[in-house]
Amino acid sequence: MRRAATPDSAREPAAFGPYRVRRVIGHGASSIVYAAEHRTSGAAVALKVLRERAGGAAHDERRPRFFDQARAAALLSHPDIAAVHDAGEQDGSAWLAMELLPGCELTRYTRAPRLLPLELVLRLGERLARALAHAHARGVVHRDLKPANVMFDLPGSTLKLTDFGIAGLADTSRTRTGVLLGTPLYMAPEQLAGAPGDARSDLYALGVVLFELLGGQRPHEHASLGELLRRAMQQPTPDLRALRPDLDGRVAALVGSCLHKQARARPPDARALADALAAIARDLPAHGRR
């Protein structure tokens, strides 16, 4: 979600439901995010509004997925998952009232010279895996895990997994084989091939995030979706130690297992991955924590 200094449109109303708009704090391709407050309680929230100009069939498909985020959030209560408080429609615009978060997108720390220390990356990975385990246990698959959907405040150590807008719910029929939903650079091979994402697809995405946080680049990159699929399916997964020769071999092996082409060869579940990350972080020698 890109930061914005000025309002996207003078036509936006001053309020949505019980929330009074204060200022624009970010925007994406299909939505705009405001800092807002509840008119009665004064509680501060982030108000995400679906752009009206994203019209046509694409807009018709975005709207139900937009409200799926609220449906998914209603099932989740975890310290590292951003809370969604309310949702509604006004004058044809769909909106969500969400937890107002400090910090910035984790994307900030995916390139040199801002790469984070090894132990911190492992701890962040553990927290994200435990947040996924919480969601998976309640029938929710994120399906778009990437650094841009993680807010991180380094001074306060606050971490929040956000944007369950295309989450797979156990009772939804909108996720169909052959429909590509998500961000291709973070999608498992089976998703790139058109299969719906599942819990182990989320583990693949977390593997890409960890690879990027540690190595400063993604394991497979290409602008063409077809070539990206070919590389993900046919090329060996790059070894993190080629980028970080000093890296603990256990870390490289665990990240590599998340990125396995076959879902059944990845860690058995998010809880097991979280436990493995925690064990490595705990056992790191003092000189290997950087």
In the chain, domain spans: 15-98, 104-288
DSSP assignment string, 121-149: HHHHHHHHHHHHHHHHHTTEE-----GGG
- pLDDT range class, residue 236, cuts 50, 70, 90: confident
pLDDT confidence of residue 269: 98
Q: Does the annotation count 144 as an active-site position?
A: yes
Residue 29 has a CB neighbour count (10 Å cut-off) of 8
pLDDT confidence of residue 19: 96
Contact indicator for 202, 141 with CB cutoff of 8 Å:
yes
Q: Which residues of 262-274 are buried (b: 16+ CB within 10 A; e: fewer)?
A: ebeebbebbbebb
Residues in contact with 175: Cβ distance below 8 Å, sequence separation at least 6, in sequence order: 143, 166, 168, 181, 196, 197
Catalytic residue among 68, 86, 91, 144: 144
pLDDT confidence of residue 57: 47
The overall average pLDDT reported for the chain is 86
pLDDT confidence of residue 226: 79
- pLDDT range class, residue 64, cuts 50, 70, 90: confident
Q: Which residues of 166-200 are buried (b: 16+ CB within 10 A; e: fewer)?
A: bbbbeeeeebeeeeebbbbbbbbbbbbeebbbbbb
Is the pLDDT at 96 greater than 60? The verdict is yes
pLDDT confidence of residue 40: 95
Beta 31-38 vs 150-153: how paired, if at all?
unpaired
Angle between the 270-283 and 199-215 helix axes, to the nearest 10 degrees?
A: 30
Residues in contact with 165: Cβ distance below 8 Å, sequence separation at least 6, in sequence order: 65, 66, 68, 69, 144
DSSP assignment string, 43-80: -EEEEEEE-TTS-HHHHHHHHHHHHHHHHHHHT---TT
- pLDDT range class, residue 225, cuts 50, 70, 90: confident
Pull the structure tokens for residue 49. Answer: 């509004």
pLDDT confidence of residue 63: 78
Residue 286 has a CB neighbour count (10 Å cut-off) of 7
Pull the structure tokens for residue 219. Answer: 């394991």
What is the Cα 140 distance to its own chain's centre?
A: 13
Give the residue with greater pLDDT, 240 vs 63.
240
Q: What share of the chain is helix, strand, coil (3-state, %, to 5)?
A: 40, 20, 40
- Please provide residue 247's backbone torsions phi and psi, each rounded to the nearest 5 degrees: -70, 140
pLDDT confidence of residue 287: 63
Which of left, alpha, beta for 42 (phi over 0: left; psi -120 to 50: alpha)? left
Contact indicator for 177, 195 with CB cutoff of 8 Å:
yes
What is the strand order of the sheet 104-105 is part of? Answer: 104-105, 150-153, 158-161
| Percentage above 70 pLDDT, the chain | 84
Pull the structure tokens for residue 20. Answer: 């009074």
pLDDT in tens, 130-179: 999 999 999 999 999 999 999 999 999 999 999 886 665 544 434 444 44
- Looking at 168-218, list the stretches that DSSP marks H as alpha helix, in order from N- to C-terminal side: 189-192, 199-215
Q: How far apart are the first and last CA of the chain?
A: 29
Is the pLDDT at 126 greater than 70? The verdict is yes
Same CATH topology for 15-98 and 104-288: the answer is: no
pLDDT confidence of residue 4: 42
Classify domain 15-98 at the CATH topology level: Phosphorylase Kinase; domain 1 (3.30.200)
pLDDT in tens, 239-290: 999 999 999 999 999 999 999 999 999 999 999 999 999 999 999 887 667 7
Tell me which CATH code domain 104-288 carries: 1.10.510.10
